Each structure stands twice: as structure tokens, then as C-alpha cells.
Amino acid sequence: MKQHRKRTSRVRNRDWETQHEQSFSHDLKKHLRTNTPIVHVAAAQSSDKVPDDFEPNGLVVSHSKKWAFVWWNDKEHLCRISDALIERDSTILAAGDEVLVEQIEDGEPTVRAVKPRRTKLSRHAIEDSRVSEQVIAANVDLLLIIVAAAKPAFKPGLVDRYLICAEAGGVEPILCINKMDLVEGAPGDVDIYRALGVPVILTSCSDGRGVEELRTRLLGKIAVLAGQSGVGKSSLLNVLDPGLDLATREVSTSNEKGKHTTTSSRLYRLDGDITLIDTPGVRQLGIWKVTFQELAFYFPEIAEHAAGCRFRDCTHSSEPGCAVRAGVESGDIPERRFLSYLRIRSS
């Protein structure tokens, strides 16, 4: 595993300071049940219990079932995960979790406790024919949605799904349209997203346009990267921090400790206080815990019109007096946003 250059932890400390008004919990069951974006995560439950108001000193980079790489003392360290943070053979930690690492004399550094999460991005997983929530990243400020203007072709439906995922996780979305050097002018959909208040940044790794704007947006934040393979995620990371050698990100799978990074989330600390989490989980993002009623809420222009529907439980598919369909007909609601809404609803 490559160790990144020594970097300042100033930004992380500032984030920890914003959490003090939140309550803490040692109740693991409650943590796993919770529906809110603020998650109460268990600390060690042994006799030498960690106090609730502990000051975290580490940031989870990646993890396997029982081991985690943690950004601790300005470097990545391989740490054992305390048994109290393991349930059903797997850790409850996620990349981005703020943790307490302790090292007793020459022993292995151990992750003892984890702070409640400010936000989380989840997907659903099917384990033993039960659906369970899998937190793919914690304490995320931004969802950086990366699409290509061409090669692969721009897919608005996918952007809508990512926007829902950001909304559901309480994370601010940013849309980055890369490979702008391959096209004349931006895709027409850009105006739709800008009208929704989503910042849109047009970039090219080939001619460097938009990269400084992207850097400014990401400064001091934790962002999760979302995007299909081939859109230029690795290229953008390398342009943002040329010192980052992504070719070395895969660790050996030949020993127990290294068995993890290829299929799980991974956090990168980039030069200049940018923290990005790359996660294969985002590529298969399902829609977690979004009910039919809530779905309209994630399409604000649809929700706004829905207030005028004749029936309060209108599904905007075939009911008479539907103000949403009227809005689509009059052009107030972009048709492809409405089609996206219907498609996601039927999934």
C-alpha cells in the first residue's frame, strides 16, 4: 500500500468540531435500525468503555471485515477493528467514518470507537435472501456525479438516479460533465440541472478546462465519486493531484490483512484539502428507502406541480385533473425529467 505524502489534518479537525451538538449512542442495534441520516454508532462495550465525547483521531480510508486502513497521525495505518465494532462477522465501519485509534505499547493500532455520522450514502444489498443496508461512505458532504459529454454517451436517467441518491443521503450533488473537448457546446440537459440548483462544471482532462473550478468546489469537503466506468474518474483524480498514483491503489489479496480494497470503498486525501471517496458501490446504486410518496419530493419541479393535482395521492400516471401531466404538456416540467420520474417509480 502506497503511503500518501504528509498532509495537514486541519480540515478534519474543523469538521469534528461541528458535531458536538449531536448525541451519542452505544446501542449497536439502534445504530443498525436507524432511518435518519445522523447515525449513532456503537463504541466499545467492554469494561474499559470509551466515553461518548471522545475526540476522534482517525479517518477510515478503507476496510475489510476485521481490518481497516485509517488516516491516523498524517499517514495511512493498517489497524485491527475492535470486536465491539464487528457484527455478524463484518465491521460496521465505512470509509469516511471518524474513529478513535489506540495503540498500546508495541501492539497493533486498534480502532476502538466511531463517531455518529453526519451523513451517509447507502445501497441495498441482498445477503442470505434478506435485504440489508450497506453504508458505502460516511460523513460525505458532496456527491460528485461525473458523466462524459461523449464516449460514453451522456445518460440523463443515470444522473437523475444519482441525484435521488444524494438527496436521500442528505448530500449536496455536483454534476461534472467531463470530456468537453470531444463536443461542441454543452448537452442541453445542463440547463435543466442548473435550474434545479445543481452546480454543473464542464471539464476536460485533455485541455484542463474546468479543473480549477472543480478544485474550488471540492476544497475542504468529503466528496463521493459517482459515475460509470470510462467517464474519466481516475483521470480527474490524477489531474487534481498529479502526485496520486492510482495505478498502485490495488493491494495484494494474498494475505488476510490486504483482502479488501478492490471491491470496497476507498478514501483519497488529495493535495490541498480535498478528500474523495471512490466506491464501486455507487455504480450499482439502488434507491434505498425512497417511498413512492417521497420520490416526488426528490423531483422538486414535480412536487411543486403535484400540489395542484385533484387527488392528494395522485400518482401522475392516469388520474384526471393531474397538474403534473398538465405541467409536462405545457412545457413547465421537462418531459425527460417526468419520464425519468416514472421510470424510477416503476423500478
Site residues for ligand GDP per CB under 6 A? 178-179, 181-182, 204-206, 227, 229-235
Q: Please list, in sequence order, all residues whose beta carbon lies within 8 angstroms of the beta carbon of residue 153, skipping any fewer than 6 positions away.
A: none
Residue 333 CB, nearest approach to Zn ion (Å): 11
322: contact with Zn ion by CB under 5 A:
yes
Residue 244 CB, nearest approach to ligand GDP (Å): 12
Letters for 37-66 (x = contact with Zn ion by CB under 5 A, - = none) are ------------------------------
Residue 241 CB, nearest approach to ligand GDP (Å): 14
Residue 146 CB, nearest approach to ligand GDP (Å): 7
Q: Could you tell me the end-to-end alpha-carbon distance of the chain, in angstroms, rounded to an integer?
A: 40
For residue 148, give the amino acid letter.
A
Q: Please list, in sequence order, all residues whose beta carbon lies within 8 angstroms of the beta carbon of residue 78, skipping any fewer than 6 positions away.
A: 1, 67, 68, 69, 109, 257
E strand intervals along the chain: 58-63, 67-72, 75-81, 86-87, 90-91, 98-102, 110-114, 120-127, 130-138, 142-148, 172-178, 200-202, 222-226, 266-270, 274-278
DSSP 241: -
Residue 203 CB, nearest approach to ligand GDP (Å): 6
Instruction: Find, among 60, 71, 66, 127, the residue nearest to 98 by Cα.
Output: 60
Burial class (CB in 10 A: 0-12, 13-18, 19+), 16: middle
Which of 51/230 has CB closer to ligand GDP? Answer: 230
Residue 276 CB, nearest approach to ligand GDP (Å): 12
Q: Is the Cβ–Cβ distance between 214 and 201 less than 8 Å?
A: yes
**The cell 488516516 sits on which residue?**
71
Residue 310 CB, nearest approach to Zn ion (Å): 8
Q: Which of 85, 314, 328, 333 binds Zn ion (CB under 5 A)?
A: 314
Which of 44/147 has CB closer to ligand GDP? Answer: 147
Stretch that binds Zn ion, among 46-54, 236-244, 280-288, 311-319 (CB under 5 A): 311-319
Closest residue by beta carbon to ligand GDP: 232
What b/e sequence results for 35-67 when a residue is b if at least 16 CB atoms lie within 10 Å of its CB, and e otherwise?
eeeebbbbbbeeeeebeeeeebbbbbbbbbebb
328: contact with Zn ion by CB under 5 A:
no
Residue 308 CB, nearest approach to Zn ion (Å): 8
Q: Is the Cβ–Cβ distance between 51 and 101 less than 8 Å?
A: no
Pinpoint the alpha helices (H) of 89-232.
Answer: 156-168, 189-195, 211-218
- Give dist(CA 105, CA 136) in Å, integer: 33
Pairing of strands 274-278, 222-226: parallel
Which of 209/336 has CB closer to ligand GDP? Answer: 209
Burial class (CB in 10 A: 0-12, 13-18, 19+), 159: buried
Residue 239 CB, nearest approach to Zn ion (Å): 45
Stretch that binds Zn ion, among 68-76, 219-227, 259-267, 320-328 (CB under 5 A): 320-328
Stretch that binds Zn ion, among 159-167, 240-248, 259-267, 309-317 (CB under 5 A): 309-317
For residue 18, give the amino acid letter.
T
Which of 51/208 has CB closer to ligand GDP? Answer: 208
Residue 293 touches which member of ligand GDP, Zn ion, none, C-beta under 5-8 Å by kind: none
Which of 253/293 has CB closer to Zn ion? Answer: 293
Which of 282/322 has CB closer to ligand GDP? Answer: 282
Residue 112 touches which member of Zn ion, ligand GDP, none, C-beta under 5-8 Å by kind: none
Which of 44/296 has CB closer to Zn ion? Answer: 296
Residue 314 touches which member of Zn ion, ligand GDP, none, C-beta under 5-8 Å by kind: Zn ion
- With both helix axes pointing from N to C terminus, report the angle between 211-218 and 233-240 in degrees, rounded to the nearest 10: 80
237: contact with Zn ion by CB under 5 A:
no
